[in-house]
Structure 1
Amino acid sequence: MIRSLVLIAATIVGGSVATAQTNAGSALITLETRQDSQGWEAVGRLDVIDKGFCTAALIRDKLLLTAAHCVYDDDDQLISADEFIFQSGLKNGRAEATRGISRLVVHPDYDPTGDGARVNNVAHDIAVLELDQPIRRTRIQPFPIAARPTAGDQISIVSYGKDRSEAPSLQESCSVLGRQNGAIVMNCEAEFGSSGSPVFRVQNGRAQIVSVVSAIAQAGGKQVSLGTSLQDPLQELLAHFASVGPAQAGGSQRLITLGERNTTGAKFVRP
């Protein structure tokens, strides 16, 4: 995605995370067939016209969840909602459903400016986008949101990425290594394009979103991925959508005013 193209020095500070075991999870599985992708159809590619893409997931029949940095350009300016296209379950040029975006909202504590992504900025790196038309199909079921994962939890990620942009890939098993200032540290694979990818915990056969891929960092000399906090930050965004009227015509959008932010010295690479 656009923001992802800017490479920044990557270091995690904090002893507990830096010394964590970072053995890789399971290999990526390309979801090329209808059978392979069953249950994951609500994950899709979020394209910015002529600019790049991220990954996003349906959490309501008309709402998408992705990373906040996916909706800013290289100049840290918010991209107009009508420049986005969401292709749900895109595989080899065909999508289960294609929709435009009528409005987007970014978390107030996410700061797109500066020369890098601070740890607490990663924690708030979420955006909710409203589709121009709901997706109501039996095969495409929005994902529920679950409580944040804890160290040792097994998780899964479905993503699009560099050199695998035409079909989603599933990493069926990777692990939560810990948390730092609200950011989730994982040994899951991430690369350019996988920003915004939903992080799942599967319970009783049901996939539930517990985080969103935000950044790549280094821990103990090995690459790790960083995920956002969800519960409270996401509820703030959903409450905002509930409090405002219908989106205006022409792809207009509403943006929550930026709030106070803490600072740390850690910086990351955007996937």
Structure 2
Amino acid sequence: MRLLTLAKAAFGLMLATAPAAADEALRALVTGDQGRGWEAVGRVDLGNEAFCTGALIAPDLVLTAAHCLFSSRSGAMIGTDQISFLAGWRNGSAIAYRGARRAVVPAGYRYGDSDRIDRIEGDIALIELDQPIRLPTVMPFAMAALPRAGTDVGVVSYARDREGVPSLQSLCQVLERAGEVLMLSCEADFGASGAPVFVLRGGVPSIVSVVSAMADAEGRKVSLAVSVAGVAALRAVLDADRGSTGSAGSGGQMAATTGAKFVRP
């Protein structure tokens, strides 16, 4: 964990609210042919404040980073009426547009702990869409366990100065693993928060983690990503709440007894 320890000195959240440098290793997926197979990755728009990246893991569920759901100005959770998902967003249009019905983050997550590296372990969220996306060209991704150090991975993301098309960085590697956090050689930019990190198994991409922050380790630009292991618990919270009488009320956030925070319209 030597690099992860050194990376504690400098890392930042990656909502698209600040300029970012171009990354020559990124390949823009400008055409439909180039983006084939990645249509379930989309841009998560957060009102007029920022955007992140997300990916479908079910027809009605988008996986992203927890900090994306908080206002950088007020520190409060963003209302779901301000959240939208643009599947396959490219050159001014999306394959599907959806609003958000509910969003959930782990109960232990604290947006105010953004300067702490252990915050990354809980930096994962699910957005339930107001309508499922059921299109033959938009297939939700499966998930897989965290890979070992040295494994090749890829990231598909949107970011500042390249918010109009998704970009693929396929020449990444897992540098280290510490618990549920990976350090990657990918140079992530602002807006790449929530971007899915993939491994290819049998030629099929599976999501193993979600990009959370960019960092500096021994002068090397790296990115930090969190495991998708917590997704099952968040899905269970959504399922349980779906059958309840709605104790969360008409707005704001809720600390659920099953271990999550909700945000609703």
TM-score, length of structure 1 as denominator length: 0.82
Alignment-derived partner of residue 103 in structure 1: 102
Structure 2: distance between partners of 1:33 and 1:84: 26
Q: Counterpart of 1:216 in 2: which secondary structure? A: strand
Residues 82 and 252 in structure 1, CA contact (< 8 A), matched pair in contact too: no
In structure 2, relative to structure 1, the CA distance for the partners of 1:246 and 1:48 (3 Å cut) is farther
Matched residue, 1:173: 171
Which letter does structure 1 place at the counterpart of 2:99? G
The structure with more strand, counted as a fraction of residues: 2
Tell me the equivalent position of 2:127. Answer: 129
Q: Specify the alignment match of 2:231 in structure 1.
A: 234
Pairing partner for 2:2 from 4, 9, 15: 15
CA distance in 2, matches of 1:214, 1:120: 11
1:259 to partner: Cα distance: 10
DSSP-derived class of the 2:85 partner: strand
Structure 1 unaligned residues grouped into runs of 5+: 1-13, 261-271
State the Cα distance separating 1:251 from its structure 2 match: 8.0
In the other structure, the counterpart of 2:193 is: 195
Counterpart Cα distance in 2 of 1:173 and 1:104 = 32
Instruction: Provide the rounded CA distance (Å) in 1 between the counterparts of 2:257 and 2:182.
Output: 22
Paired with 2:200 and 2:91, the residues of 1 have a C-alpha distance of: 26
SS state of the match for residue 171, structure 2? strand
Q: How has the CA–CA distance of structure 1 residues 156 and 212 changed in structure 2, closer, same or farther, with 3 Å as cutoff?
A: same
Paired residue total: 240
CA contact 1:109–1:259 (8 Å) conserved in 2: no
Runs of 4+ aligned residues of structure 1 deviating over 6 Å after TM superposition are none
CA shift, 1:173, in A, is 2.1
- CA distance in structure 1 between the aligned counterparts of 2:2 and 2:238, rounded to whole angstroms: 39
Paired with 1:131 and 1:163, the residues of 2 have a C-alpha distance of 27
The 1:251–1:45 alpha-carbon spacing in structure 2 relative to 1, beyond 3 Å, is farther
1:71 is aligned to 69
SS across alignment from 1:167 = coil
Distance in 2 of aligned mates of 1:217 and 1:235: 28
The alignment's C-alpha RMSD in Å is 2.5
The alpha-carbon deviation at position 179 of structure 1 amounts to 1.8
In structure 2, give the amino acid aligned to 1:87.
Answer: L
- Aligned to 2:57, what secondary structure does the other structure show? strand
Contact 1:186–1:225 under 8 Å retained in 2: yes
Residues 173/105 of structure 1: CA separation in 2 closer, same or farther (3 Å cut): same
Asked if the contact 1:18–1:220 (Cα under 8 Å) also holds between the matched residues in 2, the reply is no
Higher RCO structure, 1 or 2 (CA under 8 Å, sep 6+): 1
Residues 203 and 255 of structure 1, relative CA distance in 2, 3 Å threshold: farther
- Distance change in 2, residues 1:220/1:258 (3 Å): farther
Pairing 1:85–2:72 present: no
Matched, 1:59 2:46: no
Indicate the SS of the match to 1:104. strand
